[in-house]
Structure 1
Amino acid sequence: MTLFIDGDAFPNLLKPIVLRSIERLALPTKVIANKKINIGRSSHIEYIIVDQGADEADHRIVDLCQKDDLVITADIPLADRIISKEGHAIDHRGELYSIENIKQYLAMRNLMESIRESGEMTGGPKAFGPKDAHAFANQFNAFLAKNC
């Protein structure tokens, strides 16, 4: 299994959590973004910088991801693409996307986008904090314990 990290807006609070697991499990990891993102120093991490563009990092992740790989991303359409390749995806708040729930998340995301585009003001997600990092750590570590 390879771990992929969608570097777009990757929360700083998660970096030490993820780095500890990468080191503990010698987990091959690719951090992909259109700018330099530093998770930490590890011989198990490869940093890949892609061209500027809205979905360049997403396209590269999908191209490289294989069955049973894990992607950390808050991008629901990317998670959907990963699930369709029989990969796994988890968001920054610890939500593990699956074949059973990804279409529901995608539909909700598309609905909210449509509402925003119509001019309706909607609040964004709440600020990321320690409780979110804790929820992520629990789900991430449970996934790794089961799959590594």
Structure 2
Amino acid sequence: MSAPVILVDADACPVKEEIYRVAWRHGAKVKVVSNSRLRVPDHPLIERVVVSDGFDAADDWIAEAANAQSIVVTADILLADRALKAGASVLAPNGKPFTLASIGPAIATRAIMADLRAGMGEGVGGPPPFSKADRARFLQALDAALVRVKRGLA
């Protein structure tokens, strides 16, 4: 069994530093995927992957790389769906897991919110601001996900 790999949808990811810390503790590889050159630690477990700036290029790369040994970190619901279908574990940056059971309702809610925004203009808000509780929840969820993947339980 290969070691877990954390695939990070890195553009606008607020928990990259937390990902590095947890990955180092578990000896897990991290692939930081973006369409621009982001700073990443100089560490053998961390790899920067810069994709083209084409629409969804980072998402496409992550979806193709995702498998049962992967943990994908993304706030993108459609990418989460693709990663789940590839067998990956998926976490939002706030620590909430995407699962096969939860992804359908999440996609439906996303579509409803898009329709509301289109009909009402920009007055319909997005997600709440990122909090310390979100960061703590993410740390716990990533640690637990790595343990599950290592044990083959994901």
Q: What is the TM-score when the length of structure 2 is the normalising length? A: 0.88
SS at 1:48 equivalent: strand
Structure 2 partner of 1:4: 7
Structure 2 partner of 1:137: 139
CA contact (8 A) 1:16 1:39 kept: no
For structure 2, the 5+ residue unaligned runs are none
SS at 1:119 equivalent: helix
CA contact (8 A) 1:66 1:85 kept: yes
Point out 4+ residue stretches in structure 1 off by more than 4 angstroms.
none
TM-superposed CA distance for 1:140, in Å, is 1.2
Distance 1:10 1:143 in 2: 18
Aligned identity (percent) is 28
Distance 1:147 1:115 in 2: 38
How many residues of Structure 1 are paired with residues of Structure 2 in the alignment?
A: 146
Distance 1:88 1:140 in 2: 10
Distance 1:90 1:39 in 2: 20
Q: Which moved more, 1:76-85 or 1:126-135?
A: 126-135
SS at 2:54 equivalent: coil
For structure 1, the 5+ residue unaligned runs are none
Look up the equivalent residue of 2:129 and give its one-letter code.
A
Q: What is the TM-score when the length of structure 1 is the normalising length? A: 0.91
Please, what is the CA RMSD of the aligned residues? 1.4
Distance 1:118 1:54 in 2: 24
TM-superposed CA distance for 1:39, in Å, is 4.0
In the TM superposition, 1:1-148 aligns within 5 A as 1-11=4-14, 14-120=15-121, 121-148=123-150
TM-superposed CA distance for 1:43, in Å, is 0.5
SS at 1:118 equivalent: helix
Distance 2:143 2:70 in 1: 15
SS at 2:101 equivalent: coil
Distance 2:89 2:145 in 1: 10
Distance 1:119 1:54 in 2: 26
TM-superposed CA distance for 1:42, in Å, is 1.6
Q: Which moved more, 1:100-109 or 1:64-73?
A: 64-73
Distance 1:29 1:40 in 2: 11
